[in-house]
Amino acid sequence: MENPRQPEAVSPERAAYLKRIRWERIQVKGLQGSLLIALFLLWELAARQRWIDPFIMSSPLRIAATISRMFRTGNLLYHIGITCMETVAGFLLGTVIGTAVAVLLWWSPRTSRVLEPYLVVLNSLPKIALGPIFIVWIGPGVGSIITMGLAISLIVTILEVHHGLSLTDADKIKLVETFGATRAQVLQKVVLPANLPTIVNALKVNVGLSWVGVIVGEYLVSKAGLGYLTVYGGQVFQMDLVMASVMILGFLAAAMYLGVVWLERRLVPPTQQPF
Question: What pLDDT, in 10s, does the model give residues 222-262?
Answer: 788 888 888 888 888 888 888 888 899 989 998 999 888 88
To the nearest 10°, the Cα dihedral for 199, 205, 206, 209? -160
More confident residue, 3 or 150: 150
5-19, 35-49, 83-97 — which is least confidently predicted? Answer: 5-19
Residue 272 has pLDDT above 60, yes or no: no
| SS3 call for 169 | coil
Residue 92 has pLDDT above 70, yes or no: yes
Task: Determine what percent of the chain is predicted with pLDDT higher than 70.
Answer: 94
Can you spell out the DSSP letters for 240-272? HHHHHHHHHHHHHHHHHHHHHHHHHHHHS-GGG
Q: What is the widest separation between alpha-carbon atoms in the chain?
A: 77
190 vs 165: CA distance, rounded Å: 10
DSSP-derived secondary structure letter, 229: H
136 vs 227: CA distance, rounded Å: 20
Residue 3 has pLDDT above 70, yes or no: no
Mean pLDDT over 260-275 rounds to: 71
DSSP-derived secondary structure letter, 182: -
| pLDDT at site 1 | 44
| pLDDT at site 9 | 61
Residue 195 has pLDDT above 50, yes or no: yes
| pLDDT at site 235 | 82
Q: What is the pLDDT of residues 102-150, one digit of tens each?
A: 989 888 888 888 888 888 888 887 777 777 888 888 877 888 888 888 8
| pLDDT at site 180 | 79
Residue 62 has pLDDT above 80, yes or no: yes
Query: Are 221 and 141 within 8 A, CB to CB?
Result: yes
DSSP-derived secondary structure letter, 136: H
Report the predicted TM-score, pTM, of the whole model to 2 decimal places. 0.79
Q: What is the pLDDT of residues 162-185, one digit of tens each?
A: 888 888 888 888 888 788 778 888
| pLDDT at site 197 | 85
| SS3 call for 40 | helix
Question: Considering the chain, what is the average pLDDT of its residues?
Answer: 83
To the nearest 10°, the Cα dihedral for 152, 192, 275, 249? 30
Query: Are 191 and 167 within 8 A, CB to CB?
Result: no
Residue 7 has pLDDT above 70, yes or no: no
Query: Are 153 and 90 within 8 A, CB to CB?
Result: yes
